[in-house]
Amino acid sequence: MTEKISCSVGILTFNSGKTLRRALESVKEVEDIIVCDGGSSDDTLKIANEYGARVIAQSEACKNTDGSLKDFACAKNQLIKEARHPYLLILDSDEAASPELVQELARIVREGNEDGYRIPIRMWWKGEMIEHAANYPGYQYRIVRTDRNVRMVKPVHERPVFSRTPGAASTLATPWYVYLDDDFVYNYMERNGKYAKRELEALGAISFRRWLGSVAPRNLRSIAGVIVKTLWYRFRYPGAVHMPLLVEWGRVRYHFSLMCGALQQICHL
């Protein structure tokens, strides 16, 4: 029997039976797997038990009254607290670790000393890995130290806060995978509108001056970046596998909705 990697993996779930097996299969070499569940009624917990994962319940403090997750940082802080090893890889149930990333995890366990590691994203759709997308490389801190007071902040688009800023060695080349389904591609805004709503709620009451100086420029830069990168990649790599245009357009609409929603909040003050 192959010796397990002395690392922890944390996965957030809620009725994730359709995708969880793929996620767990990708990290089966890791010794400590934690599933933080929001009250699944499908076969999510059965699958978790098949892979020997420890199942914990998402804290009520992290959830809305209907049971949905309102604060992703809150739930991921649960994972940090529950981890049995100094390093924790955080995944969503519709994601997976690439084989190369698992190998890198083993190296980090032996040699690593950073408080967190940034990982690039790679997406899949209809069995093909998307080679070019406006949000690539999309680095996120998905590996964090659990014994150095690292904590996650922000209810949506959460990020870690470190007591010691990670150095250049914290940026990895090995990706984690996200698998797009038809619902994600064809209904991007309908699926992700709830995140825009939560971002606006977190933003709260702001002045027009702040909107003009911060909110609008930030979102306009994001919109311009999506448009320019999408056009450039299609011109430069015509035969490559690109992110579906519906998703890229969805990202443009998302940032428009944040910018306009914040302005509406100002007008209603």
Amino acid at 64: N
Residue ending a domain, among 144, 179, 214, is 179
CA atoms of 7 and 221, how far apart (whole Å): 38
3-state secondary structure 92-120: ECCEEECHHHHHHHHHHHHHCCCCEEEEC
Same domain, 124 and 199: no
pLDDT in tens, 26-79: 999 999 999 999 999 999 999 999 999 999 999 999 998 877 888 999 999 999
251 Cβ contact list (under 8 Å, min separation 6):
134, 135, 188, 222, 226
Same domain, 116 and 28: yes
> Residues 118-149, buried b or exposed e (16+ Cβ, 10 A)?
bbbbbbebeeeebebbbebebebbbbbbbeee
pLDDT in tens, 167-205: 989 999 999 999 999 988 988 878 777 788 888 887 878
- For the chain, the domain total comes to 2
Same domain, 56 and 42: yes
Dihedral of CA 100/101/107/109: which sign?
A: negative
**Does the structure show a pLDDT above 90 at 155?**
no
Domain hosting 106: range is: 5-179
Pairing state between β 30-37 and 54-57: parallel
Q: What per-residue confidence (pLDDT) applies to 6? A: 97
Strand partners, 109: none
Residue ending a domain, among 123, 151, 179, is 179
